Structure 1
């Protein structure tokens, strides 16, 4: 094992930093539609249920990107797919800035989603393969914290850009920012050592030794014997006799968590507005939700490294379910904003831990495939969540009932996580 528990090198820190940066772009591109919901509704006179279709189109793209684009990272490399994903979602977001109809918006959100979906799977995979063994849970969670960080950053600028230049300018600027990050990835991100050693593509030895030199490690004179554990990197291998139970439970946990999470991320600004908040406060509700998520993810990673991953995920999600049930009893705007922040802390903190679980469950040869399909299947729940939320809101269902309804899948996901069987689930303590 080349990467053990020694002090992290500059190469590892750069890999983690770039994966965090690319996930920030993911977060920005996902939340653009949420932050622009009210502006689009007013300009185009669109009913909430139709905007639910726009949300779901983007999430369908994310699901397909995770299922069919992310697994290519097990064939051509993590870095290549990260670059493709960034270019894809950046270009699609720029074109969204020129949309003239709901139909065009639906299609462009679908294409943006393809890049978003594959990015999350590949960055979490690469982070897991560059992180030290002892702190792997923390670093995978840290990288995934880039997602809410990007959502917060875009939220802080959303009100100004939308007010001054319109909602289309917001999509355009987000796409341009995403495209500007790709040179950093191309120039400074190294391919996964695990991938190069296991897959041994053309010039693998040269690439491996270049990375090892930069990490001040001993170079290799020859490549190790190539072991072919899996004949192909396909979804079928995720259901072999060793993994079938854990794969099914992992997919269920992702599905239920995504359904609740994307109901919240897609509709929080609208729900805040319905609760009587001003347009500015409604956007800040989304910012606080993602601000809470940012701290929740990092705190979860820290606790998981000490007390075990699955237990911490369970506690975070159970706490979130309780907070969602309490939502209907809170009326004061200040406490509503605080509750949005705490719900973001809990659901994102717990949910993101599932990426680390998937990274530990699957071996190098099928890791991107395993994470990608878990995310992809989960995003089917994400499609249902916002769409169902739009219908419930349109039918006049109270906000408290909406939150109570979506607290149920969060509770089930919390319990289901405990039944995922990992080879080694321990609490790391010095």
Structure 2
């Protein structure tokens, strides 16, 4: 029985990892393809900014709807449809011929991707025992920086120089993964157990409704997780969107900025796995202090670095903790919510985080336009990290996790 459970867990986390790799590819795709898209569609800077936002905006309804559906009709079914939706509309990005159709397909691709992420977290966490949930989510989520790093390398090749190839890759890879999901991905055992409860048990337990996130048991954890997701993802997406540009603001070349982003993603992969393992082994408060302290150290190092090598080291330090922190937050969402509302809880929190993800790059752009420079952008991220850390420390002190 134990061997069967281990096989179930390994297959689930491995397939979820592959889909997270595809998300990482997509996160980098828009920025890498931006120059080609601007030229092909004759876009100005403001239109290009709207193009960036369209994909992120689509993540919100995707996360909200899919998380709730996963609690109602099953994790596996909703995940497969989310991945199919993302694949189809990513491929459509290559075939559209107007700006507004471009925005539409990016929004719909984002909705598919946004629907997949909370279910990946839920599936990975429910495939293992509660004592191993942080490790499972960390191993799954480290696929995201792996995918981003891979696309950064592809972008430097002749194949990656054509913007359409980037979206062909992003659309065809999930199509290849879908049959693997159909044949090999097991449904969550916790979901099946919850589904098979007697009617009396079901009537006394939450049933994946939004209002259940604010009952007596869940109200405090929901508010604290929402605030922390919002501010943490704001900083994550400032770093993902602006790191190369911040390097240029400081007088380095675009190539230097791309190299820094590669180091950022490599250490992010390592940091996500290590922080996930520590979440299971250490007291949760210690992990929170470590990861948010690491982010602050990375931001301060970026502000204080004076040479290119120091900037690379600072970017690597920030990457290890910024992306790793997001993975740990997802793990916390899966830990603190009960099975019946886990998909809904993580999905809604992800959607709230995506609002921060949209606002972060826009605020950074306004700060740069106002003349605050790279140092101003990095300094503005520091209060966000302090607020997030305080909310998470309060959460672990008030709830038994």
1:74 aligns with 71
1:252 aligns with 227
Alignment TM-score, normalising by the size of structure 2: 0.92
Could you tell me how far apart the structure 1 residues matched to 2:248 and 2:381 are? 19
CA contact 2:367–2:376 (8 Å) conserved in 1: no
Distance 1:27 1:269, change over 3 A: same
How do residues 298-317 of structure 1 correspond to structure 2 at under 5 angstroms? 298-317=273-292
Spell out, residue by residue over 1:45-77, the C-alpha distance to the aligned partner (whole angstroms, 9 max, x if none).
655554333232222111211111221101111
Give the counterpart of 1:287 among 248, 262, 265. Answer: 262
Could you tell me how far apart the structure 1 residues matched to 2:35 and 2:258 are? 10
Give the counterpart of 2:175 among 174, 179, 182. Answer: 179
Could you tell me how far apart the structure 2 residues matched to 1:199 and 1:7 are? 21
Spell out, residue by residue over 1:301-341, the C-alpha distance to the aligned partner (whole angstroms, 9 max, x if none).
12222212343123211221232133233242222222212
> Cα RMSD between the aligned structures?
2.4
Give the counterpart of 1:133 among 130, 133, 141. Answer: 130
Give the counterpart of 1:227 among 191, 201, 205. Answer: 201
Give the counterpart of 1:408 among 380, 383, 387. Answer: 383
Mean Cα deviation higher: 175-184 or 132-141: 132-141
Give the counterpart of 2:361 among 383, 386, 401. Answer: 386
What's the CA shift for 1:391? 2.7
Distance 1:278 1:99, change over 3 A: farther
What's the CA shift for 1:406? 1.5
Distance 1:161 1:120, change over 3 A: farther
1:149 aligns with 146
Could you tell me how far apart the structure 2 residues matched to 1:135 and 1:319 are? 23
**Number of aligned residues:** 399
2:7 aligns with 10
Give the counterpart of 2:313 among 309, 314, 338. Answer: 338
What's the CA shift for 1:270? 2.9
Could you tell me how far apart the structure 1 residues matched to 2:314 and 2:97 are? 36
Could you tell me how far apart the structure 1 residues matched to 2:310 and 2:292 are? 20
Q: Secondary structure at the match of 1:36?
A: helix
What's the CA shift for 1:276? 4.1
Distance 1:192 1:114, change over 3 A: same
CA contact 2:221–2:399 (8 Å) conserved in 1: no
CA contact 2:154–2:160 (8 Å) conserved in 1: no
More helix by share: 2
Gaps of 5+ in 1: 201-222, 426-430
What's the CA shift for 1:31? 1.8
Could you tell me how far apart the structure 1 residues matched to 2:399 and 2:354 are? 26
2:301 is the alignment partner of 1:326: yes
Could you tell me how far apart the structure 2 residues matched to 1:125 and 1:115 are? 16
What's the CA shift for 1:174? 1.4
CA contact 2:289–2:389 (8 Å) conserved in 1: yes
Gaps of 5+ in 2: none
Could you tell me how far apart the structure 1 residues matched to 2:221 and 2:206 are? 21
Q: Secondary structure at the match of 2:394?
A: coil
